[in-house]
């Protein structure tokens, strides 16, 4: 009951801002319906707010299902190269538009036992977070290596980095550093990635230096 109460409270709190924005945009359009520029501008803003709400609700539902054990991972032998390809498939266009490089480097014959869909989503969330915090012209590298005990996937960037006071909080839900208030995101991508990786017996961690970049090792058994 306490878990459900906390989850509903989180969703309700996070929905207040986009709902208030939608109501305001609707009132502006209603007050000036014959002004094409006004209708176009605030219709686009409505679309953005709706996408944010959809992302928020879907992410919270996924995390809740993971936390309550309602998801059974379909772990199979997967090509690491294919895993990374799936993870970044929807991010390559964005990277090009923002003049950022996505560099993938690893041996093509490596395999790992995991749930392809869920693990792709986890890696994709980490890469998206790197894109959010890397300036135009920046670089995000995705590499992998096999150790005697595990497969390690490394996501690193030369972006804004993470302040020392924030680094122990970045996997908390809705956590937003004072240094990243102007960046996109809702604060659920990394917590969701952590739940997915740890739910399969893996481990995700972070190392970073402010203004120099961030290094995310993901270890899969």
3-state secondary structure 77-90: EEEHHHHHHHHHCC
Q: How far apart are CA 209 and CA 167, in angstroms?
A: 9
pLDDT for residue 172 is more than 60: yes
C-alpha dist (Å) from residue 83 to 77, 117, 166 = 11, 8, 29
pLDDT for residue 177 is more than 80: no
pLDDT for residue 76 is more than 60: yes
Structure tokens at 196: 């997915």
Q: Residues with Cβ < 8 Å from 209, sequence gap 6 or more?
A: 161
In sequence order, which ranges of the chain are alpha helices (DSSP H)? 2-31, 36-67, 80-88, 92-97, 116-132, 189-199
What predicted TM-score, i.e. pTM, was given to this entire model? 0.77
What is the average pLDDT score of the chain? 86
Across-strand partners of 146? 151
Q: Are 80 and 151 in contact (CB under 8 A)?
A: yes
Q: How far apart are CA 26 and CA 122, in angstroms?
A: 35
Q: Are 178 and 162 in contact (CB under 8 A)?
A: no
Place of tokens 């989850």: 7
Q: How far apart are CA 170 and CA 62, in angstroms?
A: 18
Q: Residues with Cβ < 8 Å from 90, sequence gap 6 or more?
A: 124
Question: For a pLDDT cut of 90, what percent of the chain falls above it?
Answer: 37
pLDDT of residue 15: 79
Q: What is the pLDDT of residues 111-128, one digit of tens each?
A: 999 999 999 999 999 999
pLDDT of residue 120: 94
Q: How far apart are CA 175 and CA 206, in angstroms?
A: 15
pLDDT for residue 168 is more than 90: no
Q: What is the pLDDT of residues 130-148, one digit of tens each?
A: 998 899 889 999 999 988 8
Q: Residues with Cβ < 8 Å from 140, sequence gap 6 or more?
A: 95, 100, 101, 102, 103, 127, 130, 131, 134, 155, 156, 157, 159
């Amino acid at each position: 009951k306490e878990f459900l109460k906390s989850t509903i409270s989180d969703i309700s709190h996070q929905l207040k801002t986009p709902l208030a924005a939608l109501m305001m945009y609707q009132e502006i359009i209603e007050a000036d319906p014959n002004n094409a520029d006004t209708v176009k501008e605030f219709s686009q803003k409505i679309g953005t707010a709706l996408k944010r709400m959809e992302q928020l609700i879907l992410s919270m539902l996924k995390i809740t299902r993971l936390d309550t054990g309602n998801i059974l991972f379909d772990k199979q032998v997967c090509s690491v190269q294919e895993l990374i390809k799936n993870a970044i498939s929807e991010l390559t266009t964005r990277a090009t538009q923002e003049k950022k490089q996505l560099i993938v480097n690893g041996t093509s014959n490596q395999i790992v036992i995991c749930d392809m869909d869920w693990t792709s989503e986890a890696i994709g969330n980490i890469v998206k977070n790197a894109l959010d915090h890397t300036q135009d012209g920046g670089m995000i590298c995705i590499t992998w290596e096999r150790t005697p005990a595990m497969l390690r996937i490394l996501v690193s960037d030369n972006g804004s980095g993470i302040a020392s006071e924030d680094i122990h909080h970045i996997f908390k839900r809705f956590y937003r550093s004072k240094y990243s208030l102007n960046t996109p995101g809702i604060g659920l991508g990394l917590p969701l990635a952590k739940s997915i990786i740890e739910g399969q017996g893996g481990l995700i961690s972070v190392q970073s230096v402010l203004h120099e970049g961030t290094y995310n090792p993901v270890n899969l058994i």
